[in-house]
Structures are given as C-alpha cells and as structure tokens.
Structure 1
Amino acid sequence: MKISVERSGGIAALTRVWTVHAQTASAKSQWQPIVEACPWDAVPKTVRAAAAEVHDNQPDRFIYSIRAGQRRAALPEQAVTGPWRVLVDTTRAASEDKPGRQGHVQA
C-alpha cells in the first residue's frame, strides 16, 4: 500500500510530499489500523472541495491531500486532527527517516 501526504499552501506556497510504501506484511499490518482509523467518507476528496469548506477566509493556511491505496481525502489544516493527525505525522516521520530522503519539496 502506498501512502502519501501532500501539504500545499502556506506563506511560501511550497508543496511538500511525504510518501511511504508499505509492501511487507509487517509494514501493512503496522499501517492498516492507522489508515482505517480515519473517517475517509466524511471528508472531501479534492483540494478544491476542502478549500470550499473553509468558512472563514484564512489565507496562508495549509491544505493536505492524503492518499492511502485507493482512498483519497483533502483537508484544510485546521481539520487535521485525531486519526488524521496520526496518519499525517506518522507518514511524515517515516518518510523523513529514510536515508537520503527529507520529504519531497515542489516549488
């Protein structure tokens, strides 16, 4: 299972991407509960839809686009809480722990 978290926006308008490939049985068993804890059906699937749900004008906030296998979600920064925060933080940490990999930055 491929898990990726893309964070876009912010003051500098940089996009960061963190990716994990859970390929072994032990990796899948580690990641599956984290992924399944997230309420995928309760959130927008696209960045545009997530941005439209932000009721107050909050420029320079991040938008997260999250993918895990066939699942998709897009969340404004303030909605990345609970199981979403666990998934984002765990993916970021695992991606940055890889030798020679510090998260991918797109300008």
Structure 2
Amino acid sequence: MEVSLLEEPLLQFNDGEHICPRTGMFKYGVADFENVRPDKIVLGFVGNSDSIGSLISWIKSCQSHIEAKKSNQPNLFMNFPGFSNKVAFKSEISYDESYVRKINNSVCIFR
C-alpha cells in the first residue's frame, strides 16, 4: 500500500486566501461579508445564577481579541479575532434580559 500526503487547500476569505480558517478570518475577514447576514445575534440563557453569570462573562470576553496561548504547537492555540461588528464576522453578539431564565438551585425534579 502506498500512502501519500495531500497538501491542504487554501481557503478563500473576503480579501485573501489562507490555509487556516482562524488566521484567514482574522487577517482577511469572512467570505460572505457582502451577503445578507445579521448585524446582531441575540442570545438567551437558561440556568442557575452562577452558570448564567459565568456564561455572560465568557461571551463578553469573546467580543474582543484573544491572544494566542504559548505552545510547542503554534497552530493549536491561535489568536481569536473577537466577535464584534468591527472584525472578522462583522456582527455583534448580545443578550437580552428578557431571554434570561434563572433556575432556582434548590428546586430539583426527578422522575
């Protein structure tokens, strides 16, 4: 049996091509930038107070640039451009209090 390694194809983005999807989005923007897409994505959450608070904190951290982690494998922990109307996806993630449902930790239903 003969094994051969195929070269990875270049991916197309808004203003260029790159082999890595994360780097391509960061450097060149998403390919469908000119197409119709939402300017804002509104999220809803269901959970206890602690988990909702942690999730909202994580969502807020994802809105801005996140630096790459140091690693012996440089493509494993690459930077993230952030999810905002200024970079990459050119869309905003937000949440609305009317879509937040907090579950009381003392109430458990077993069947």
Q: Give TM-score scaled by structure 2 length.
A: 0.24
Tell me which protein shows more helix as a share of its residues.
1
- Which has the higher Rg, Structure 1 or Structure 2? 2
Q: Give TM-score scaled by structure 1 length.
A: 0.25
Tell me which protein shows more strand as a share of its residues.
1
